[in-house]
Amino acid sequence: MIAVIERNPLKERLRRGEALVGAFVNVFSPELIEVLGLLGLDFVILDGEHAALTPETAVELYRAAELRGLPCVTRVGVNHPQVIQKYLEGGALGVLIPLVSTPEEARRAVDAVKYPPLGRRGLAASRVSDWGLGPLSLAEHVARSNEETLVAVQVETREALERFDEILAVEGVDLVFFGPSDLSVALGLPGQPTHPRVIEQIERLGARAREAGRWTGTIARTPEDARRWRSRGFQWLCTSVVDLIARGVRAHLDAVR
């Protein structure tokens, strides 16, 4: 018998300096999650911001991910402790919080994820603590969760750019994720996520984040994108499951036809 949260391989590999390739998932099928794990994807992010993800659905996807050893993070669309906690209690190894624009919002995310004294998360026996029936006591579960659960925040608004150093100063933020689409809007370039000004901002702020001891991630839809961002120090390289499926289907059809 093992606890739902033993060690978080995602954080272990990031600590070693590895670059990881993952995908946002907005097609909520446990079988698909298993296939992604079998194919060797480094992690998935269940998308609760732009898709209709519920905690009940997420639990089934966490089970599938655990079965295949696939680290599973959840993008939670509402930065509120009672929303975030339901995904954590179900088995998420971390959360990605979108549209974090102020240090107060970053602190709110940390408080929702971490138990006291690091945060304000409420404690109860649940799936993530094996309902108190597993190998870890609740006290050990608290220590393990505070150490292993990933806290990632998305920087993608004009205010976030202006208050970036304040956001970086928030203790407990592990990773800063740069959303190119929303950043393009913030920079007055809507729908142009690959515009040189957007790329320059991500590169410059990514370097500052790493200097502050934070891991960095962004969207890398193609192998070329992934190689470029990796060469610039980014470790969390995210495409989407729809992009992966589309490229595979198109390549197959092009070859057949």
pLDDT digits (tens, 9 = 90+) for 102-161: 999 999 999 999 999 999 999 999 999 999 998 889 999 999 999 999 999 999 999 999
> Yes or no: is domain 9-256 CATH 3.20.20.60?
yes
User: Residue 3: its pLDDT value, please?
Assistant: 47
User: Residue 5: its pLDDT value, please?
Assistant: 57
Nearest to 202 by CA among 184, 222, 223: 184
Tens digits of residue pLDDT in 79-114: 999 999 999 999 999 999 999 999 999 999 999 999
pTM of the model: 0.95
Side-chain half-sphere exposure of 146, counting CA atoms within 13 A: 18
In whole angstroms, what is the distance from residue 207 CA to residue 196 CA?
16
Among residues 50, 80, 195, 252, the one annotated as catalytic is 50
| Sheet strands (E) in 43-92 | 43-48, 72-76
Domain ranges of the chain: 9-256
Q: How many residues does the chain have?
A: 257
User: Residue 210: its pLDDT value, please?
Assistant: 98
Give, as one character, the DSSP assignment of residue 97: E
User: Residue 4: its pLDDT value, please?
Assistant: 57
User: Residue 2: its pLDDT value, please?
Assistant: 43
Query: What are the φ/ψ torsions at residue 237 (nearest 5 degrees)?
Result: -110, 110
Tens digits of residue pLDDT in 8-67: 999 999 999 999 999 999 999 999 999 999 999 999 999 999 999 999 999 999 999 999
In whole angstroms, what is the distance from residue 95 CA to residue 153 CA?
8
Judge whether 252 counts as a catalytic residue. Answer: no
Tens digits of residue pLDDT in 192-246: 999 999 999 999 999 999 999 999 999 999 999 999 999 999 999 999 999 999 9
